[in-house]
Structure 1
Amino acid sequence: MQTSLSKRFTMVAAASAAMLLAACGGGGGDSSSTPSSTTTISGKAVDFYLSGATVSFLDCKDSAGKALTTTTSSTGDFTFPANCTKSALSVSGGTDIGTGLPFNGVMQAPAVDYRAGVTPMITPLSTLVAQLGADQAAALATKLGLSGKDLLNADPLTDADVLKAAVVVQQLVEQISKTLQGVATGAGGTLSADAAAAAAAKAVASVISSASGTVNLTSTNTVSDAIKASVKNAQSSLPSTLQGSIDTVAANVAALATPLVSKQVGDVSTALGTIKLGGNASATVSALKGNGALNALKDSSQSTLSTTLASSTSASVLTNGSNAGNLATLGNAVATGSADDVQTAAGNVQGLDSGKLATVVDKVTLKDYVQASNVLINGQPATLGDQMTTTGGLSDIKVTINEIGAPFGTAASDVRLGLHYSYKGNTVDVIFEKVSLVFSGGNLVSATLPANTSYSFVVTGAMPASATLTNGSADSLSSGNGQFTLPYAAILNKVKNSGMLTSAQLAAVTPSAPGTVDVAFAVAGVDGSAVKLGIGTGTAAKYTGNVTVQTSGSQISGYGLKSTITMN
């Protein structure tokens, strides 16, 4: 059982002719607040709902002194044991209905008076409350940007803001927990999943609580502080070779792991976008899957990269105060670089485990992806990157794309495409529900926006507008040399032809020189599956970032490109 950081309440046994009553009370149980044995109190276990998870009532014991347990239903529901009305709770195991994956974390809820008619929630957010105390729940909600939300009783599947915060918090705790376990392994010891989760949850709760204003869970500062605190929290459980230099170890672990953990958590947050709830939990989950919004979450949940990276270090590496800079460079290479970048950065750190490092390199190496290269903006060559330049307004962007391996699996190479740009305070977001790509020998042969394809757009800013329309006739989005055209001009024409914008509105959203325009696009399978997009070839290739595009009626989350284009 993981270390409980909330106050354990003393069991008071009372004789009864029928049964032994386990009265869980921290301040001398008020019998007037204790429901009768016929009163049913129900709760829920939620990351997304956890099916088949084990709920432990930590302060309510059976005759053998073991914590009472129960199992959640397919929608995360569970029932409290009779006469157990005030107990710290924990949940583990089961299946997350959002990802369909086993739940490998540990969540908690503090010991408070649980009453019939109010459904308590064991969530990543209640886990944070359990670390700080129930009296800190309101302050914690404010720091998370959830002012006025009840972190102990709000069902995340009925509150979009709470759901997003819960999922992001869980991934932050989970990735730090995995890192801690890797640190212990690399130093020749072990750290249980429960102990790692407890140390990570306590650290995240503390960092959020001490933040000035609303905390950004994906910022490198937040992540770094939480990793340092978690290492110190786990000090007594780490190998003795690390304990004597715990401040140095904490700094080095944070330098190494922060880039990767921050990226993984950031990708999850970006992919979720602004969650729109469906009519019920099932509809919400189905929509998120179809949008591709859960792919980053599944990748993060299944990833062992942070564990492997941390386990490649040794006690001698982590206790050396001069290693922080080189470890940070290595961490950045793993998070955003190529396999070649990782090997180069690792060469500057003496004492790494070569076998574990080889596994890291293999995990970073791209295998099945769509390769983007050779950008033309307005017919002029440009270097693909976060900053690009062109002459004149933005009329079109062409990118050469190739098929490396099997990025579409056995499915057809059809994708959903989202396009976004921001210009002079106005933004335009467009989603095409189907673009058909045809490759031959890995080279793009054609890209077509088929007739009768649904597309939606939203314009925000001084002149807002939105609509969902249907493509009247097929449009070609490719040239004869394997280049894919991001159809900015076509978008404006379609918006113009829809009659939704006036001439003045069109002029306001038409990029012209001089000026800058922020552009982005995202791709995903038509069924919501991930289509990985990368830059480069072989061990020099690296994945692009996660991008989400949303309109009033649709959302797409997937791999994509972002850039600020300066128009001269």
Structure 2
Amino acid sequence: MQTNIRNIFTLGLTASAVATLVACGGGSDSPAPTPTPTPAAVQGKAVDFYLAQATVTFLDCSNKTVTTKANGDFTFPDGCTTSALKVTGGTDIGTNQPFTGVLQAPAVAYKAGVTPVVTPLTTLVAQLGSAQAAALATKLGLQGKDLATLDPMQDAAVLKAAVVVQQLVDQVSKALAGLSKSTGGTLTAEAAAAAAASAVASAVNAGSGTADLTSGTLVSTVITSAVQNAKAGFPASVQSNIAAVAANVAALTGPVVTSQVANVSAALGTIVLGADPAATLAALQQGGSVNAVVDSAKSTTSNALVAAVTPAALADSTLTTKLGALGGAVATGNAGAIQTAAGNLGGSVDSGAINTVADSVKPTNFIQLASLNINSQLFPIGDTVTVTGGTLNAIKVAVSQSGNAFAGGAAEVRAGLSYTYNGNQVDVIIEKVALTFNGSTLTAAQVPAGTNYSFRIAGTVAASANLSNGAADNLFDNANGGSLNLPFNVFLAKLRTAGALSATQVDALTPKSTATFPVTFAVSGQGGKAISVGALVNGSAQKTSAQTVETASAKVSGNGIKTTVTLNP
């Protein structure tokens, strides 16, 4: 009985195993079917700096949308591997400002291991067509770089170009919005961005060499073209006289847009990539470079300026020169100059609106640079200075405080000095200068003991050093009611004492007559904090432009002055 039970069990097990093998294809000469692999999701990245929580629209995939992650990453929807892209909204993690522009990228077929990007540069490519991508890269000084797949945060030159391009597009878009508002048009923000991007792409592509995005001529061309591109969004009264309106808007807003874009470019300086994108961004923030980008992103000056001028004046070709003068005054932030230029236009400018513009651009709560003292000779702040004395050992800058320049915090700055003489560029960065004010008057300026000085000398003499002062250094001088003393000879002597320069080299780097050379002075706050710096010009305070001083290990990107000194016997 037990034997029968065992046999039945064995037969049952064998039958079951055979059935299983047959079901799996076992026992047959036919190969097992190969499972169909699940296609890998296509990853993309949205970059101005990285855009977090932005909306990506897939224009060729039924306008499906996804949201970017904190590092700009996004995933294509299922079944969509090729699509033109549009990015809007979100937050720029570099500036921590809302992203108000529109980025685009043309349709590019996905390739395994390649991440498509959507950037200000792909936005230009989208306007011209993918076939023009390589030529456009060359015109931007990015020859051989693949704009469709190269993450700007991984390439210093591409990053700078992308940020500057976006600020140019953004500022022109705002001018178009102001024109639409002033004339009762219906131009949308997206249409304004497209018109501006198309104008930038065309202007860059039409040039014979590498485009200078900070050129006033290029900016004027861009604005003129952008107004014409946006023609359909303006009322018939503007459309019928679009050439005159375009020329006047370019004259009016060109200086403002040029100033904003030039400040961004100057503040970024030479970008040095860190170990990863986060380190790169942190260095730009700590050095103060991002402050100019924030200022530009937040600025609505080009919009408000156009809206302050009557539609009739914008269409009057006889007013182009006067409108240009008003734009130039607004670009300086000099309230007196703005009122004079506006007065010359009479009823063509709304007085209340232009006063609001003037209030928004004039410096407030700032360090004021009032004059220069060189070889005991006093000069106003200006682009050029001619001085006598044979040798230049120091420049003393008269400094005062208007309002509360440090927002209640310590009155401490990072300072940079740069000059080019005798075939050499000398760059000096002082990591901390502690200022003391009695009301508005500067009463002390000291470099605390243990502060790092960073030096870079490039040219016929080459040197680089980081030195720390054992005792506090005094940079205060009583000249002109309280001045910050920038002693070239003392700074060079530090390198001589440290053995980085010989006496002969120090002599070669000390400016002597007869010579003409540029001098740059830049100031930023500690830890990348923005410090407003103004200059006294013709009795009124006006904004100073962005200036950057760099060494091999440090950067000061802030506001300051650049002047050309002619030294005579």
Q: Common fold, TM-score beyond 0.5?
A: yes
Cα offset, 1:365, TM superposition: 2.5
Q: Could you tell me how far apart the structure 2 residues matched to 1:36 and 1:60 are?
A: 22
Does residue 361 of structure 1 match 2:341? no
Cα offset, 1:460, TM superposition: 0.6
Indicate if the aligned counterparts of 2:364 and 2:532 stay in contact, CA closer than 8 A.
no
Indicate if the aligned counterparts of 2:546 and 2:559 stay in contact, CA closer than 8 A.
yes
Which residue of 1 is the match for residue 513 of structure 2?
513
Indicate if the aligned counterparts of 2:371 and 2:536 stay in contact, CA closer than 8 A.
no
Question: How many residues of Structure 1 are paired with residues of Structure 2 in the alignment?
Answer: 529
Indicate if the aligned counterparts of 1:338 and 1:541 stay in contact, CA closer than 8 A.
yes
Q: Could you tell me how far apart the structure 2 residues matched to 1:230 and 1:209 are?
A: 15
The residue type paired with residue 378 of structure 1 is N
Q: Could you tell me how far apart the structure 1 residues matched to 2:266 and 2:454 are?
A: 20
Does residue 56 of structure 1 match 2:52? no
Which residue of 2 is the match for residue 535 of structure 1?
535
Which residue of 1 is the match for residue 91 of structure 2?
95
Q: Could you tell me how far apart the structure 2 residues matched to 1:147 and 1:155 are?
A: 15
Indicate if the aligned counterparts of 1:366 and 1:541 stay in contact, CA closer than 8 A.
yes
Q: Could you tell me how far apart the structure 2 residues matched to 1:543 and 1:343 are?
A: 16
Cα offset, 1:538, TM superposition: 11
Q: Could you tell me how far apart the structure 1 residues matched to 2:162 and 2:282 are?
A: 18
Residues 36 and 206 of structure 1: CA distance in aligned 2, closer, same or farther (over 3 Å): farther
Tell me the percent identity. 51
Cα offset, 1:240, TM superposition: 1.8
- Correspondent of 1:417 among 415, 418, 426: 415
Q: 1:129-151: per-residue Cα shift (whole Å, max 9, x none)?
A: 00111111000000000000001
The residue type paired with residue 41 of structure 2 is T
Q: 1:521-547: per-residue Cα shift (whole Å, max 9, x none)?
A: 100111111211112399821011111
Cα offset, 1:401, TM superposition: 1.0
Which residue of 2 is the match for residue 393 of structure 1?
391
**Structure 2 unaligned runs (5+)?**
1-35
Q: Could you tell me how far apart the structure 1 residues matched to 2:148 and 2:355 are?
A: 44
Which residue of 2 is the match for residue 203 of structure 1?
199
Partner SS for 1:99: coil
Compare 256-265 and 372-381 and name the one that shifted more.
372-381
Cα offset, 1:120, TM superposition: 0.3
Indicate if the aligned counterparts of 2:185 and 2:233 stay in contact, CA closer than 8 A.
no
The residue type paired with residue 565 of structure 1 is V
Q: Could you tell me how far apart the structure 1 residues matched to 2:415 and 2:352 are?
A: 40
Partner SS for 1:333: helix
Compare 211-220 and 382-391 and name the one that shifted more.
382-391
The residue type paired with residue 60 of structure 1 is C
Q: Could you tell me how far apart the structure 2 residues matched to 1:166 and 1:315 are?
A: 34
Matches within 5 A, 1:447-462: 447-462=445-460
Which residue of 2 is the match for residue 315 of structure 1?
311
Which residue of 1 is the match for residue 217 of structure 2?
221
Indicate if the aligned counterparts of 1:37 and 1:83 stay in contact, CA closer than 8 A.
no
Residues 362 and 190 of structure 1: CA distance in aligned 2, closer, same or farther (over 3 Å): farther
Which residue of 1 is the match for residue 473 of structure 2?
475
Which residue of 2 is the match for residue 303 of structure 1?
299
- Correspondent of 1:383 among 365, 380, 385: 380
Partner SS for 1:541: strand
Matches within 5 A, 1:7-406: 38-61=39-62, 67-349=63-345, 350-391=347-388, 392-406=390-404
Indicate if the aligned counterparts of 2:401 and 2:437 stay in contact, CA closer than 8 A.
yes
Which residue of 2 is the match for residue 558 of structure 1?
558
Cα offset, 1:211, TM superposition: 0.7
Q: Could you tell me how far apart the structure 1 residues matched to 2:512 and 2:124 are?
A: 49
Q: Could you tell me how far apart the structure 1 residues matched to 2:373 and 2:152 are?
A: 44
Q: Could you tell me how far apart the structure 2 residues matched to 1:537 and 1:330 are?
A: 17
Cα offset, 1:423, TM superposition: 0.5
Q: 1:331-383: per-residue Cα shift (whole Å, max 9, x none)?
A: 00000151111111011224222232121111122221111123210122223
Q: Could you tell me how far apart the structure 1 residues matched to 2:369 and 2:124 are?
A: 42
Compare 142-151 and 333-342 and name the one that shifted more.
333-342
Bigger Rg, which one? 2
Q: Could you tell me how far apart the structure 1 residues matched to 2:276 and 2:408 are?
A: 32
Q: Could you tell me how far apart the structure 2 residues matched to 1:247 and 1:186 are?
A: 17
Partner SS for 2:348: coil
Q: Could you tell me how far apart the structure 1 residues matched to 2:158 and 2:71 are?
A: 17
Compare 386-395 and 534-543 and name the one that shifted more.
534-543
Q: Could you tell me how far apart the structure 2 residues matched to 1:452 and 1:192 are?
A: 55
Compare 125-134 and 516-525 and name the one that shifted more.
516-525
Q: Could you tell me how far apart the structure 2 residues matched to 1:251 and 1:76 are?
A: 38
Q: Could you tell me how far apart the structure 2 residues matched to 1:198 and 1:537 are?
A: 39
Q: Could you tell me how far apart the structure 2 residues matched to 1:365 and 1:223 are?
A: 23
**TM-score when normalising by structure 1:** 0.91
The residue type paired with residue 358 of structure 2 is V
Q: Could you tell me how far apart the structure 2 residues matched to 1:377 and 1:368 are?
A: 27
Q: Could you tell me how far apart the structure 1 residues matched to 2:38 and 2:88 are?
A: 27
Which residue of 2 is the match for residue 488 of structure 1?
488
Which residue of 2 is the match for residue 546 of structure 1?
546
Cα offset, 1:121, TM superposition: 0.3
The residue type paired with residue 381 of structure 1 is L
Q: Could you tell me how far apart the structure 1 residues matched to 2:259 and 2:453 are?
A: 30
Partner SS for 2:318: helix
Residues 114 and 314 of structure 1: CA distance in aligned 2, closer, same or farther (over 3 Å): farther
Cα offset, 1:36, TM superposition: 7.3
Q: Could you tell me how far apart the structure 1 residues matched to 2:72 and 2:552 are?
A: 31
Indicate if the aligned counterparts of 2:374 and 2:392 stay in contact, CA closer than 8 A.
yes
The residue type paired with residue 328 of structure 1 is G
The residue type paired with residue 384 of structure 1 is I
Which residue of 2 is the match for residue 13 of structure 1?
none
Partner SS for 2:60: strand
Indicate if the aligned counterparts of 1:60 and 1:84 stay in contact, CA closer than 8 A.
yes
Q: 1:304-325: per-residue Cα shift (whole Å, max 9, x none)?
A: 1111001112321111110110
Q: Could you tell me how far apart the structure 2 residues matched to 1:346 and 1:37 are?
A: 66
Q: 1:411-453: per-residue Cα shift (whole Å, max 9, x none)?
A: 1001000000111211100001001001111111100011110
Q: Could you tell me how far apart the structure 2 residues matched to 1:560 and 1:180 are?
A: 31
Partner SS for 2:564: strand
Residues 538 and 215 of structure 1: CA distance in aligned 2, closer, same or farther (over 3 Å): closer
Cα offset, 1:187, TM superposition: 1.1
Q: 1:57-87: per-residue Cα shift (whole Å, max 9, x none)?
A: 01111xxxxx100000000000001121221
Partner SS for 1:116: coil
Partner SS for 1:60: coil
Q: 1:178-227: per-residue Cα shift (whole Å, max 9, x none)?
A: 00000111112342110100100011011111111110011011101110
RMSD (Å), alpha carbons: 1.4
Indicate if the aligned counterparts of 1:181 and 1:190 stay in contact, CA closer than 8 A.
no
Which residue of 2 is the match for residue 500 of structure 1?
500
Q: Could you tell me how far apart the structure 2 residues matched to 1:375 and 1:110 are?
A: 53
Q: Could you tell me how far apart the structure 1 residues matched to 2:333 and 2:90 are?
A: 35
Partner SS for 1:296: helix
Partner SS for 2:59: strand
Q: Could you tell me how far apart the structure 1 residues matched to 2:81 and 2:248 are?
A: 44
Partner SS for 1:294: helix
The residue type paired with residue 160 of structure 1 is A
Partner SS for 2:86: strand
Compare 40-49 and 361-370 and name the one that shifted more.
361-370
Indicate if the aligned counterparts of 2:493 and 2:506 stay in contact, CA closer than 8 A.
no
